[in-house]
Structure 1
């Protein structure tokens, strides 16, 4: 299961972001760079937080710590999606360095102090990564990002992005189940498969229904079909029953698809929130939905129904089921507060010119940082853009 999650980070997230027609190298390449950097950094930071109150003096590395490192990677890559194509590699490394620390703070408060349950990371991975990235994106917003002709996709770039979708869809049960053991892990796999299946069917239906010509939108199929895995995360190992898993996946599809169709353009138009990959629709809102659902399930949970399984939900014997549900909501509030506040601060820091901010013509463009084979004809590029990009490449090489 660890290797399944590993595949999701490098291939799943990497190819999911290749829909931009002029930013494929940056999508896969910087995703690879961030993954390798965050694995190393998060082993240290996760380990430091794990030593709190233990009296131990060493960070022990095992499969569990590597899995937790990949969860930190997922959080950063979700944030990366919100600012894809509008930040430099230096800014990405700085963002990741800060975010891993903030991510651990939210986990320490939510998991250690509040004793919330979130096996698949609906709150602590998806919601945190989404709203941290959105806060950064809002602060870094430039007017030139709106209606950029290079932000769109092409036929072949969307096919590449579907590779990422399919890998994520296939391995998501492992992502939600890997931290569990025994019965909980078994239940998490089943619940996630059912949720993803229902989510996919409803997404196809809604995508066609909401289109004037009743045609499918590839953006919805690439992204909203995965929302069932996000929403199922917080309650994947709980007794939701098969019909519950199907309802959760269906609800996530509705929230995500309608978010892509209506809410994302509205937010960009009204509050200047530019979200390149639509992480608010795939990770943010479904993550919040998953947290709320987990609170409801926790509030009605019956310990006897879990038989001999010692679930994390019942580790605090002084709490009533209603209190467990309340602490799930409290953990969600903490996650959102930490993500938005620290993301805003990080965005302000990244605006400093020392971090190699991109100019208007450099947005969504691989040629700024990569050696790119040139097409025989490219009518969309002007000579001025070519000159600016060539100058940037020379300056980067000199530095």
Structure 2
């Protein structure tokens, strides 16, 4: 037979292998383009504008068939809950990994904007106290966001349930407060983006297997320029009881608006009680007023769980009151809050009367409840 030199033999062996590798790479690339093209197909409910920026997250695309199998075709038994965006389902992938699938309601117009906003943000934010986005699906007129599954669900389901609240000993509550503080500090000061969440509340704090908190739901979040200090909107959207007065009254929002929401959340966690609608003068006395009155009377610890560490609980209440000051400039930055919570060596300034304080139950707030409040779109 014919004799080949060693280099010739190497070429004979390598060339088919290289061709095969190139073919596999081309097929893989073609398949990915097909999936992306399917996700971008225009339909009456899907604007091509929604596909802007999808190229950067192409690797996060998940087939609708995978998600239907994981959730048993979005079975009601797998439904975890429902918010302004739409329902959320639990799913299990073939790998055994558990996921949470947020499904945009087809009747939701605002939800489309919130999905785009959340996708643009969460894919770029990575912190242990923020919920992790795993993937997206934009097929068959579906708009789905896929997250890591957080087994203990949201804080409000435990904190505001008298029986379940027993799980929240002081060590756990303190861990949740500090974890949320670190997550907000990352959003405001430490990430590649400067982000204002705009809807921090107990139901948007998820708890993992070890009760570590993860901030979720970035549908209303806004990205600020590094030198930007404030944003203004004519459309005030948020949750009663957590919104800062400058946002409710004038549509102004900033990182200090999130600080206000954090202060409310801290007081809720320490007291185990939900803040009422402090913008409605017909409601009973809200949590902020009650805490302030007990603070000035020196009896605030009587409101808290007796099993709590008194020194730590008192410090958390003090920090919470500093965060809910009526003037945004009087509220600390989250990096300062984290240091305040960190130990007794950090001296705390005395708090002033908080926002929405009313002198008695049912009275108008001295900081603005008697003002004309614009139309506010409340979220559940």
TM-score scaled by structure 1?
0.24
TM-score scaled by structure 2?
0.25
Q: Which has the higher helix share?
A: 1
Higher relative contact order (CA 8 A, sep 6+): 1
Q: Which has the higher strand share?
A: 2
- Greater Cα radius of gyration, structure 1 or 2: 2
